[in-house]
Amino acid sequence: MEPKDEDMREAQEALCEWEKSPLAEETLICECYCVSVLDIKQTCSETRSVDVELLRQTFGMGTGCGQCLRDIADWKNLVF
Ligand code: FES
């Protein structure tokens, strides 16, 4: 049986929702300094947007291997 257009649309919407869903709070963003999504949420709670400078000052985030900042485009919009 062929999937109906409606079924395909529903599946596509579910996939979009899944892709946009926020990261789990325990997810480590900066492995060098053990900075988790929860740490970032708490530190940047006032503006509810990722403040790299504040995270660097608070945790040293990005001053180790730097991978967390190279990957910022992948996680920045999934924190809040
Ligand atoms: S993962 Fe953030 S500095 Fe290495």
CATH, residue 72: 1.10.10
Task: Tell the residue nearest (CA) to atom 1 of ligand 1.
Answer: 30
The DSSP-derived string for 45-80 is: TTTTS--HHHHHHHH-TTSSS-HHHHTHHHHGGG--
Is position 15 within any domain? no
Is position 69 within any domain? yes
Is position 10 within any domain? no
Report residue 80 as tokens.
């809040």
Task: Tell the residue nearest (CA) to atom 4 of ligand 1.
Answer: 65
Q: Which numbered atom of ligand 1 lies nearest the CA of 35?
A: 2
How much is the pTM?
Answer: 0.77
Query: pLDDT 10s digit of each residue in the chain, 80 long?
Result: 666 888 888 888 776 666 667 899 999 999 999 999 999 999 999 999 999 999 999 999 999 999 999 999 999 999 99
Q: Say how many Å lie between the CA of residue 64 and the centre of ligand 1.
A: 5
pLDDT at 17: 64
pLDDT at 63: 98
Count of domains in the chain? Answer: 1
* Residue 30 belongs to domain spanning: 24-78
Is position 16 within any domain? no
Is position 58 within any domain? yes
pLDDT at 20: 65
Q: How far apart are the C-alpha atoms of 12 and 15, rounded to whole Å? A: 5
Is position 13 within any domain? no
Per the CB < 8 A criterion, the answer to whether 37 and 20 are in contact is no
Is position 72 within any domain? yes
